[in-house]
Chain A
Amino acid sequence: MLTFENPAISFKNVTKKFGEHVILHNLNFDIPRNKIVTILGFSGAGKSTLLKHILGILHPSEGTVIVLGKNLEELSKEELRDFRRNFGMLFQYAALFDSFTAEENVAFPLREFTELKNEEIKTKVHDLLISVGIKEESFQKLPSELSGGMRKRVGLARALALTPNIMLYDEPTTGLDPITTKMVNNLIVETATNHSDREMTSVIISHDVKATLEISDYIAFLDRGKIIEYLPVSEFKNSTNPLVQEFLRL
């Protein structure tokens, strides 16, 4: 299994049980800083549970999760809440607040967590929206008036508003057409690479093999709560693991 010096995220002997049902089995793996790592796996493999452990929404039954050098279990509720500002997350269906316009959605974290003045917020929001390819005429549109791809862009702009160090993507290309999928993939790569001023680690939860192979630096394959393969993308393509091979052929 791959190990890294000073990783962004580290799972140490992590087991998660819900009653008698074991979801994650003794996970031991690191996610390196400033890389794009994809957790690949079938539905029900435990990917979302793993993501919730990174965010500290769930805690392990056994073992520890260390994120940016902090053991999440040792943080108080308030500290954890503050710590989550290190994360940006793009949800599967963007999870935009449906009563807010695109502009208000992106402004929301800035209004909640910064002391910026209205004008400064407006300028920053416009910059963010333009950087993800949203045109000015769509700034005042409600999520219901935006296409799936545009919603993802706005969701990404909102996730980036507080300049996170870790970006989490939950099934970012599921249900999108090929052109929008390519656009989202480009955005993920741009987001990961266009931040030379700060650290940016990207974790993608997906079962989209093609997209994953195009944009990831490393791929971990999760099966029934166990990481059965974790390799750089070039080696992952040649994995001899039969389950991975089956998945790659899909």
Chain B
Amino acid sequence: MRTFVLLGFRIRQEVLEWSGAWWFLATLVVQAVIGPLIGLFVWSAVYPDDPTIARYYVAIILVTLMTESFEQHTFSERIYDGTISHELLRPQPVVIGVLGANLAIRAWLTFLGAPVVLLTGLSLGTGFDWRSVLVSLPAVVLAAALVFLLTFLLSMTAFWTQRVHAVVGFGHSLIFLFGGTAAPVGFLPDLWRQVAELSPFYAMSGLPAELAAYGGSVWSALALQLFWLVVLLAAVGLLWRAGVRRYTAVGS
């Protein structure tokens, strides 16, 4: 309970803090949108007569906005400049600060980006079945949790290396390739498609987007996501303990 109060407090604080940099957030929206947007253009050029492509990519863009994670900036930089030490000394889990910043930035990105994307989509005649959209919501929430966990996990490599941006960039490339942004997973060559459909990356973006755009089996989707959630949670826990041990041993 106390954790949630602290988290709520932190989120409010971060939302206010970021309000001064709304233009910078707007450039982050563009950054989040550009990848899927290019995918949309490419696949619309390949299949000019298929309206579901546009619907799918609008869903991908929205999922991307709602799941963007920047722990390599918000968290890793604190390891590099040493301010993480203060956080370690405070009587609250460090992850609350990280999570608070994460949710605040996502809220801003969604607030700034989603209306534009939705209006553009609807004006171009992209219709959604609202039942599918509602049903996909739990999957979106789980996807958001998965992206956060993966980014946080990779950001923790900052305890060991100076090149955390490259490491996280690599992770995000995998989401781009196997998650259904570069191409809808169904378009991948057969073997790759089977690998992608079981991968955590698909669970992070393509899966909820497909649920919203096409409908489909919610339960198998949630099962896949929950599986990866457990795996990533365990990995984050292990790496966190190892990282803190290393950090306190090396000192700074």
Are chains A and B native binding partners rather than an unrelated pairing?
Answer: no
- Please give the residue numbers on chain B whose beta carbons come within 8 Å of chain A beta carbons, in ascending order: none
- Please give the residue numbers on chain A whose beta carbons come within 8 Å of chain B beta carbons, in ascending order: none
